[in-house]
Amino acid sequence: MGDYVLDVNGTVVHVTAPADEPLLSVLRDRLNLTGTKYGCGEGQCGACTVLLNGVAMRSCRTPVSAAATAKIVTIEGLERHGVLSPVQQAFLDEEALQCGYCTSGMIMSATSLLSKTPNPTDEQIVGAMNGNVCRCGTYPRIVEAVRRAAHAAEKGAQ
């Protein structure tokens, strides 16, 4: 067991956990941040995606000890003062979900993409989202939502 100080969604939290405990378990089971989902547990589906220092990472494959020095952002941390992030809003507007199980991971991957590539091509969108699996097959609407979020951010910057 080790004691870790984590920066989660801008809040410093203290957790005691085995060094190799997945960040996903820490978030869900110790911090009650259940928006991040457990899918495969093997780094293959993207349901557990969170941001570490702005980069999309699979929290099921990230030990808590490796996350202790990073700024961690989960789906719960994207909204500000009751206003959804542009990516969250675009997913709603495009109805880019069916069961919703993959959605938080999709939104985190899209957020990471747009932070580095604000105006991505369709190829870049598909490339960045490729590791996120949607069993409901909502891929066309997901791509449309990412396009919409990029346009919204572009308009907002003008």
89 contacts 114 by C-beta, under 8 angstroms: no
Tell whether residue 108 is a contact of ligand FES (CB under 6 A).
Answer: no
> From the CB of 82, what's the least distance to ligand FES, in Å?
24
Within 111-140, the residues that bind ligand FES by CB under 6 A are 134-136, 138
> From the CB of 104, what's the least distance to ligand FES, in Å?
10
CA distance 18 to 13: 16
Tell whether residue 47 is a contact of ligand FES (CB under 6 A).
Answer: yes
> In sequence order, which residues have a C-beta less than 8 Å from that of residue 110 and are 6 or more positions away?
87, 125, 128, 129, 142, 145, 146, 149
Compute the residue count for the chain. Answer: 158
Among 17, 26, 27, 45, binds ligand FES (CB under 6 A): 45
Which chain residues interact with ligand FES by CB under 6 A? 38-41, 43-48, 58, 60, 97-102, 134-136, 138
